[in-house]
Amino acid sequence: MPSAALERHPASPCAALRGIEASVARNRDGSLHVAYRLEGDLERVRIQPPRAPRVADKLWQHTCCELFIAEPAGPGYHEFNFSPSGEWAAYRFTRYREGMPFIGPEPKIRVERTPGRLALHAQVDLHQKGRLRIGLSAVIEEASGALSYWALRHAPGKPDFHHADTFALMLDEAR
């Protein structure tokens, strides 16, 4: 599962992290395994404490990792938010930012933390066939409350993970 560096949006500084790596792979059963690795001074990052896995809203207001999934053609897509706390959210959009909460299969989230590093792994199963366009991103909340926005690719203007330009990775079916 090759990884790629997420880029910090130029309008959102972050003094706490050196970088974020992310990767996604498709399993033979069609599920997706996504991994994020945050590196830096994690004592300066607000990380929600572990909780029992559950659906939660507005996770993007704090430190969380995000996965966007779309088919190559068409305006619809899914969004998943994964908090290091174990909480998660899932949304289905029919077109740009038009959608609703989506309660599908519960993702499996696992977090590993060592000095200077936090790794978050999540497995999602949408039973989607064919090629997929993927967006990988993260929101980081520093101890000061400042938010920074990280993605494989940023669209022009303010941070916007929903913009089609941020779905920068094409993922084939597992063989």
Residue 175: the pLDDT is: 67
Residues 117 and 112: their CA atoms lie apart, in Å, by 8
Q: What is the DSSP string of 122-151?
A: EEE-----S-EEEEEEEEEEBTTS-EEEEE
Give tens-digit pLDDT for 125-171. Answer: 987 888 999 999 999 999 999 999 999 999 999 999 999 999 999 99
47 token code pair? 């990380």
Q: Does position 6 have pLDDT exceeding 90, yes or no?
A: yes
Domains in the chain, CATH or no CATH each: 4-171 (2.60.40.1190)
Give tens-digit pLDDT for 81-92. Answer: 999 999 999 999
- pLDDT confidence bin for 102, thresholds 50/70/90: confident
Residues 94 and 156: their CA atoms lie apart, in Å, by 22
- pLDDT confidence bin for 1, thresholds 50/70/90: low
Residues in the chain: 175
